[in-house]
Structure 1
């Protein structure tokens, strides 16, 4: 490169906390290892971060997390692991600003294609000194981009040994060109347009700029105030990255005016220390090259950087620390996003839980206040006990119930199975109805919330699953089996009263079920007398067989068994909602918050 005086780069020195891992520098080596371990922990946490709920800030947070992981892989971790690697100077800027022309001028011969058709830079080209090849042929930096070894053809553009690279593959590959014209210690990377019409080009340009140790940002006299480049320059200021702005194609006579205006803008945006180079509007030669003198100050500045190891080290550390500080702010923001997700997820979960808790409470009332003894269940119970003779016998006094019940049941009782069937049918109707109501309630609550609405999508969860009635019937039969097992266990402990077991296990089981259901709280009029009478008779009968304390215990156990099975049925239905939320209370927000604090200290050199 043509020589020039050293540029006025005089920004404050970066803290030397993270120096190279040189022999005898054990403390620095340990600090470097600790920094790498912290950064790897941050990368793992960000890579596993899940923000499934469609909150207003969620899309931006997901993009931030993905870009942060990419920057850790492309730049931060590689630079911490190899602090003495050559500087990577990325040449970026707007469409048609003259990036490729500048790169060719700095190399002293045509290297990359420049032209009027946009976008021209489809495949990034990295120029490096032959002695620096090992730093870039590996996946040390930009590991997601495949390496393609390039040679300069007769036209002055890189050609791969394997031939032309298709555009799709080119966008994910990096052409490496070894060129002795590039000073050892600094590599140049020609990036796509930051405002390209191609989404892929813009994303790649952003990725490459995020992996840079310093920027050569190219703009023109009539485009330097455009919004897109300034957004990137402001990001550079937040990273404290060294930026050299190349103001290209400045009309003769307007240099000082345009320079002053651009310098004022840079100062306002926190980039007062940036170098500013002005390239006048000049005709290109037959090979599309600028006169060497036009870019000599830029070439000299880069050469001075390359020759001064101390300055290179300061630049690398300054950019690295600034990037880590910027990453700390992003991680803190992601911690807040994760906390918002947890809060929103808990609210959605609470909505579902409340709906199904209410359903459980309604089922409890219906199965404990006598409501189930209406209709078919009551009719089958009356058939079972023979209401007329049975209640006339009770009129003589409940105190002699053992003798009266014993005499009454010496005959063959009607089948208890009809009562069991009626209980199953009635109980199934109650559970299915209340679960459906809960599902409808939960569905409506979610659809009133944007995050819940997104989780539901086009699915309709406002009813129970098709197999739910069959599941309920199966659970009720299982509960009835539990009741019969309780009767068998209680009868085995009362062998002296085995004569009462002539009623049969099923008969006593039915009586226990009716006792569980008939507290009469929900009945009115004549039903109270009927249900109340059946409850009293059933309870006294069981007390005659098992004893008063045992009956209370049996009824309590039967009630708990029923409630447990009902809760399981409702839980399966509400799980359809909760599974869509994903895990809650996983501690991601607290972890990210703690990592953000550690990154802030690392970025400050603490």
Structure 2
């Protein structure tokens, strides 16, 4: 191996390492339109980085890799054998013929290819002794339709030093794996040698590959094989092919014409028919400047192609992030609606009817407020002392009824929020993918107990507020005469009917009367300012607990989104695209 002379070429530019890392960690989990294409694009970009771009940029003086590709039966292997002077690549009528790619190099260039500098995904298999090409190859256990997993190396001094030939599978092989491998090998080429025939040069598949070569500025040579040996036919076909190439905007460096002829007894194409091609390779191998220009031109085109791929993948990654944002907003909106409906239920007086109202009236009486509120504390105290033996104190029963009602509201509205979130998700393919098999709308085991415990904890907070505010001598006597629970229930009633929970006002009906009695009772004991402060603190604590309970139900939805990984890959890949385009321009300037 020769020493590197250009310090700039001894290390991979950071943009390539960064792009490779971004591709390696890229996740496109949502089944959006174009997802499979984006994944394929990412895999192809990773392969091109590893197979060609990074190794070539790190070793600009490495032998030029000429990949020989073409359609089934075009005669690639026969041509390769003729260039070497012996049978080294399988040819025949059974398709696919080239099951494992064959790389031929000068023996002095062997260190460039025995490692994983290029095509690291293919294991290296060294060819046996001369003449063994037709024998079963070591490790060749692939079936006709299985893609090859190894690269067969031949050290052949008939190949000029500084250049290597790679006989690739057919680009239109009946085996899908071979077609994919053929395109992978073509992406690893410094120079593409396309082999076609006089009767198949207009086929669609070769032109598709040639157009992709033109799009990436790859240097291309073409061999037209099996031209009928009649006067003027070769010139006519060559002119037609050149016209087609020009019309498609495909710049071919050299066009070689090989006439149709009988093979020799050993199945070899007579050497005289490949003299022009062999001389071309010899001159190219001897001209380091020409090899360097070809390598840089193809490399710049490959990096430009990666820049385009990065942009396309970035756009799809951004679409994935946008879909994730929409799904998150749908889940948040569903539970935000549930949270608002809980507030509505607290503020519209519905919670203070039925069982809660009956238990509250056990505490304060049923009609005293009509006759005026004077003496309210005394009357409430009198009613509390009239509780029947064996039954919970009226204040405790009211507290329990109020807590039970609030628990039911929270569970019901949280369940409705989950149902709405799941329905919204199931309306799109991405949402269905996330919800599939999850049963996100189901109330989880233990949630009801969790809600009940949280409400009880809040009620405990309220009782502590009452105790703390009634600790001074002036209010302590009244508080103790009524009981902390009764005063605490009054504060809970006030919290439920405070303006923070009343979107439309609460002016009439039993709920209004209940609120008025509770407010008056508290003001009589603590005073206006103290009641406002206690109600504010209690309301804030209730809000925090309700927020936490509803957020707990939204957790499974948001957790599914978190499992998708970190967003933002689109922005990073867009930056990669710009950096790759800049790198391609610098390489092209060097060329």
TM-score, normalised to structure 2's length?
0.89
- Aligned residue runs from structure 1 range 586-601, under 5 A: 586-601=567-582
- Aligned residue runs from structure 1 range 481-560, under 5 A: 481-492=460-471, 494-499=472-477, 500-518=479-497, 528-560=508-540
- Judge which range, 374-383 or 402-411, deviates more: 402-411
Q: Partner of 2:128: helix, strand, or coil? A: strand
Q: Distance in 1 between matches of 2:577 and 2:451?
A: 50
Select 1:602's aligned residue among 574, 578, 583. Answer: 583
Structure 1 residues 402 and 594 mapped into 2: Cα distance closer, same or farther (>3 Å)? same
CA-CA distance at 1:219 after TM superposition: 1.8
The answer for the alignment partner of 1:206 in structure 2 is 183
Structure 1 residues 84 and 124 mapped into 2: Cα distance closer, same or farther (>3 Å)? same
Q: Is the 8 A contact 1:335 1:589 kept in 2?
A: yes
Q: Partner of 1:167: helix, strand, or coil? A: coil
The answer for the alignment partner of 2:557 in structure 1 is 577
Tell whether 2:418 aligns with 1:439: yes
Structure 1 residues 328 and 471 mapped into 2: Cα distance closer, same or farther (>3 Å)? same
Q: Is the 8 A contact 1:244 1:274 kept in 2?
A: yes
Q: Distance in 2 between matches of 1:581 and 1:113?
A: 52
CA-CA distance at 1:467 after TM superposition: 4.2
Select 1:140's aligned residue among 109, 117, 126. Answer: 117
Select 1:81's aligned residue among 50, 55, 58. Answer: 58
CA-CA distance at 1:210 after TM superposition: 0.9
Tell whether 2:234 aligns with 1:255: yes
Q: Is the 8 A contact 1:46 1:69 kept in 2?
A: yes
- Aligned residue runs from structure 1 range 200-349, under 5 A: 200-253=177-230, 254-349=233-328
Q: Distance in 2 between matches of 1:349 and 1:187?
A: 54
Structure 1 residues 552 and 72 mapped into 2: Cα distance closer, same or farther (>3 Å)? same
Q: Partner of 2:96: helix, strand, or coil? A: coil
Q: Is the 8 A contact 2:88 2:131 kept in 1?
A: no
Q: Partner of 2:124: helix, strand, or coil? A: strand
The answer for the alignment partner of 1:29 in structure 2 is 7
Structure 1 residues 224 and 581 mapped into 2: Cα distance closer, same or farther (>3 Å)? farther
What are the Cα deviations for residues 552-587 of structure 1, in whole angstroms up to 9, with x where unaligned? 222222222222222223223333333333469833
Q: Partner of 1:151: helix, strand, or coil? A: coil
- Aligned residue runs from structure 1 range 34-183, under 5 A: 36-157=13-134, 163-167=138-142, 171-183=148-160
CA-CA distance at 1:601 after TM superposition: 1.6
Q: Partner of 1:176: helix, strand, or coil? A: strand
TM-score, normalised to structure 1's length?
0.87
What are the Cα deviations for residues 38-96 of structure 1, in whole angstroms up to 9, with x where unaligned? 11111112222222222212221111111111111111111111111111111112122
The answer for the alignment partner of 1:8 in structure 2 is none
The answer for the alignment partner of 1:16 in structure 2 is none
Structure 1 residues 433 and 491 mapped into 2: Cα distance closer, same or farther (>3 Å)? same
What are the Cα deviations for residues 227-264 of structure 1, in whole angstroms up to 9, with x where unaligned? 22222211111221111112222222332232222212
Q: Is the 8 A contact 1:487 1:505 kept in 2?
A: yes
What are the Cα deviations for residues 109-150 of structure 1, in whole angstroms up to 9, with x where unaligned? 000111211112221221111111111111111112122222
Q: Partner of 1:275: helix, strand, or coil? A: strand
- Aligned residue runs from structure 1 range 421-460, under 5 A: 421-457=400-436, 459-460=438-439
Q: Is the 8 A contact 1:36 1:81 kept in 2?
A: no
Q: Distance in 1 between matches of 2:458 and 2:337?
A: 22
CA-CA distance at 1:271 after TM superposition: 1.7
- Judge which range, 416-425 or 216-225, deviates more: 416-425
The answer for the alignment partner of 2:542 in structure 1 is 562
Q: Distance in 2 between matches of 1:54 and 1:426?
A: 43
What are the Cα deviations for residues 183-238 of structure 1, in whole angstroms up to 9, with x where unaligned? 11111111111122222111211111111111111222232222222222111112
- Aligned residue runs from structure 1 range 5-20, under 5 A: none
Q: Distance in 1 between matches of 2:449 and 2:171?
A: 61
CA-CA distance at 1:314 after TM superposition: 0.6
Tell whether 2:450 aligns with 1:471: yes
| Structure 1 runs not aligned, ≥5 long | 1-19, 23-27
CA-CA distance at 1:30 after TM superposition: 4.4
The answer for the alignment partner of 1:14 in structure 2 is none
Aligned-residue RMSD, C-alpha: 2.7
Structure 1 residues 85 and 495 mapped into 2: Cα distance closer, same or farther (>3 Å)? farther
Q: Is the 8 A contact 2:381 2:481 kept in 1?
A: no
Q: Distance in 2 between matches of 1:139 and 1:584?
A: 32
Q: Partner of 2:318: helix, strand, or coil? A: helix
Q: Partner of 1:183: helix, strand, or coil? A: coil
Q: Distance in 2 between matches of 1:287 and 1:569?
A: 84
Q: Distance in 1 between matches of 2:220 and 2:566?
A: 42
Q: Distance in 2 between matches of 1:158 and 1:212?
A: 28
Structure 1 residues 273 and 197 mapped into 2: Cα distance closer, same or farther (>3 Å)? closer
Which stretches of structure 1, 4 residues or more, deviate above 6 A after TM superposition? 522-525
CA-CA distance at 1:159 after TM superposition: 6.3
What are the Cα deviations for residues 427-474 of structure 1, in whole angstroms up to 9, with x where unaligned? 222222222222222223223323323333355434443543333333
Structure 1 residues 232 and 466 mapped into 2: Cα distance closer, same or farther (>3 Å)? farther
Structure 1 residues 508 and 155 mapped into 2: Cα distance closer, same or farther (>3 Å)? same
CA-CA distance at 1:175 after TM superposition: 1.7
CA-CA distance at 1:346 after TM superposition: 1.8
Q: Distance in 1 between matches of 2:284 and 2:581?
A: 28
Q: Is the 8 A contact 2:78 2:91 kept in 1?
A: yes
Q: Is the 8 A contact 1:152 1:158 kept in 2?
A: no
Q: Is the 8 A contact 2:51 2:120 kept in 1?
A: yes
CA-CA distance at 1:316 after TM superposition: 0.7
CA-CA distance at 1:483 after TM superposition: 2.6
